[in-house]
Amino acid sequence: MKPKSENSRVNPHSAETPLLAVRNLKTWFPIKRGLFSMTAGHVRAVDDVSFIISRNETLGLVGESGCGKTTLGRTLLGLERATAGDILFDGTSISTLGRRQMNRLRRHIQVVFQDPMSSLNPRMNVMDIITEGLEQFGMIEGSKQEHAARLLGEVGMSPDAVFRYPHEFSGGQRQRISIARALSLKPDLIICDEAVSALDVSVQAQVINLLLGLQKGHRLSYLFISHDLSVVSNIADRVAVMYLGQIVEIGKTSDIVQNPLHPYTRALIAAVPVAGGKKIEDNVVRGEAPSPASPPEGCRFHPRCPEVMAVCRRVPPAELDRDGRKVTCHLYEQPAAMHGRS
């Protein structure tokens, strides 16, 4: 039987309720200065981000290093505090949950990080690593070893691995162990933060295939974070492109890859040729990203944008619906708004 608090959700498990809905989320870090640690400003790591993830869906999140991807993931996991906005899990705002309910929710959102060497405790054997959460939640079925062996089987590893330690495995196998641990608590959503970025290309493909198989078997949703659009396009149903704390374009993967609208998305595709995607040679993103502590006025991308217009320097663009996707760029506004073109 389900605990009462889960039944009191606004609209439990309705087909229309997205598994995750993020609304105008901001996660800012204060910059402290001086003897009295005065707040001198904020790093706007996540700055007004909205999106949904449906059940059984993979949303890719892509953008350069430092654009706020990890902070966004950590905020969803409850590891960072949101400065503003709302996170709804299965229709319920997590800001309304008490501590016990929040702990229960934690089980439903799991994470796989880039570097399993630092996220797997080197002094614990594989059995203890992948059953630690199960023990906390009293969810072990049969013996601990049996349960661990079953989970290892799910990620394509031999049951003999239970008594071995993380350092005895390759990077790809360690990542499989991390996935088994994430899977152990029967989550609905797994956040994969650069989960395959440290692996060789052939191993990356194996781990992505594993994730795709597990998704089918368990009706999982993924937020798949990577700086590499070519990796994201191999797994994601939809892709969100993040720039300096904001989502600048979001839509179906095939649309984003074959017909990118935002100049930043085009630049990302030019920088990394994507299978089946157009390669736009003369549109490589220029220069360094500005600091999220003092983002540029107007459109945040304007200092680097090859298509910059006068309006872009002054006015932040609104999000527009265009060909079934959302893009935040003045280029796609009605012609009247484009008179300021430089």
Ligand X SMILES: Nc1ncnc2c1ncn2[C@@H]1O[C@H](COP(=O)(O)OP(=O)(O)O)[C@@H](O)[C@H]1O
Q: Minimal distance in Å, beta carbon 17 to ligand X?
A: 28
Q: Looking at beta carbons only, is 227 or 266 nearer to Mg ion? A: 227
Q: Does 45 bind ligand X (CB under 6 A)?
A: yes
**Residue 137 CB, nearest approach to ligand X (Å):** 28
Residue choice 17, 58, 70, 75 for contact with ligand X (CB under 6 A): 70
SS3 for 193?
strand
With CA atoms as reference, report the closest residue to 86 among 98, 76, 77, 99: 76
Q: Is 292 in the site for ligand X (CB under 6 A)?
A: yes
Closer to ligand X by Cβ: residue 42 or 55 = 42
Q: Does 67 bind ligand X (CB under 6 A)?
A: yes
Binding ligand X (rule: CB under 6 A), the pick from 18, 19, 47, 69 is 69
Partner from Mg ion, ligand X, none binding residue 68, C-beta < 5-8 Å depending on class: ligand X
Minimum CB distance to ligand X, residue 19 (Å): 22
29 contact choice in ligand X, Mg ion, none (CB below 5 to 8 Å, kind-dependent)? ligand X
Sign of the alpha-carbon torsion through 196, 199, 201, 204 = negative
**CA distance linking residue 156 with residue 307, whole number of Å:** 48
Q: Which of 217, 58, 219 is nearest to 151 (CA)?
A: 217
Give me 341's structure tokens.
């073109």
Residue number with CB closer to ligand X (208 or 289): 289
Q: What are phi and psi of 262, to 5 degrees?
A: -70, 135
Structure tokens at 174: 């360690």
Per CB under 6 A, the list member of 25, 43, 196, 235 interacting with ligand X is 43
Long-range CB contacts (< 8 A, 24+ apart) of 199-203? 199/171, 199/172, 199/175, 200/172, 203/170, 203/171, 203/172
Binding site for Mg ion (CB under 5 A): 69-70
Name the one range near ligand X by CB under 6 A: 60-68, 88-96, 109-117, 155-163.
60-68
The stretch among 69-77, 131-139, 205-213, 314-322 that binds ligand X (CB under 6 A) is: 69-77
Asked if 342 and 298 touch (Cβ cutoff 8 Å), the reply is no
Instruction: Classify each residue of 227-244 as buried b or exposed e, where b means 16 or more C-beta atoms within 10 Å of its C-beta.
Output: bbbbbbbbbbbbbbbbbb
Q: What phi-psi label fits residue 22: left (phi over 0), alpha (psi between -120 and 50 degrees) or beta?
A: beta
> Is residue 39 at the binding interface for ligand X, with CB under 6 A as the rule?
no
Q: How far is the CB of 281 from Mg ion (least distance, A)?
A: 28
Which residue, 142 or 287, is less far from ligand X as judged by CB?
Answer: 287
Pick 70 or 204: Cβ nearer Mg ion: 70
Binding site for ligand X (CB under 6 A): 29, 43, 45, 63, 65-71, 292
